[in-house]
Amino acid sequence: MRYIEKLPDPPGEAALVGTFAHRVLEVLMDLDPTERTVDTARAIAADQWPQMADDNDFLALGFNEAEARSFRWKSWNAIEGLWAIEDPRNVNVEATEQRVQTELGSVPFSGVVDRLEREADGLVVSDYKSGKAPSPRYRESRLDQVLLYAAAVHASTGEMPVRARLLYLGDRHVATDVTNAALDSAVGRLGDTWSAIQTACSTDSFAPTTGPLCGWCPYLDRCTEGQEAVAARPAAGR
């Protein structure tokens, strides 16, 4: 619906909280390590807020004053959550918001790596997440994103990262070693997805895939299968 039908897909509150937290952490991590304190983060958040308050996506949420205050608190909780998982003064940042564009297997790939850092044993690819860390069942699929970033960094720079990790703000790290086998598996799954997309496009067949997130899907009112999936999960709230 987003890419083929090109229907609007306005980001919801949770996505915008993540966007704002990312922006503040990017500015923070670009500073000298000694300046990366909670007080500095608070000052950066205050400095960045007018830009977010004027953003069309934020305005589209139609928040009143109390809801806007709640949004700022949620954003601040995500930002301050960085200190629950690391001391940012000890991070040796090589780059933030690094764009990578390459081919993985035969699949065109582009993305933005939140953070590249240098540790004693090599380069580490990190990506901030403002949600909860996944249960073991979903761990591997969530790590595919950072493994693909690691493969793209390797393809672009020639240096193979040693680790890829997701930084769940306020929660914990979820990390994996970057090995040839791990990259081959992630790139293989990307190739499978790419083939499935090509088949769907050539046959004009796009079967809905329902799941626990249907209740938050912006296209729910157009999707009978999603509505049925939501109705079958009364305990999930939507």
Give least dist CB 7 to ligand SF4, A. 10
* Closest CB to ligand SF4 among residues 135, 224: 224
The whole-angstrom separation of Cα 10 and Cα 155 is: 33
Residue 100 binding ligand SF4, by CB under 6 A: no
- Minimum Å gap between C-beta 217 and ligand SF4 is 3
**Nearest residue to the partner ligand SF4, using Cβ:** 226
Binding residues for ligand SF4 restricted to 37-76, rule: CB under 6 A: none
Nearest approach, Cβ of residue 24 and ligand SF4 (Å): 29
Considering the complex, what minimum distance in angstroms separates the CB of residue 190 from ligand SF4? 20
- Of 84 and 200, which CB lies nearer to ligand SF4 in the complex structure? 200
Return the number of the residue (53 or 200) whose C-beta is nearest ligand SF4: 200
Within residues 197-226, the interface with ligand SF4 by CB under 6 A covers 208-210, 214, 217, 219-220, 223, 225-226
> Nearest distance from residue 139's CB to ligand SF4, in Å?
21
Q: Which residues bind ligand SF4 (CB under 6 A)?
A: 208-210, 214, 217, 219-220, 223, 225-226
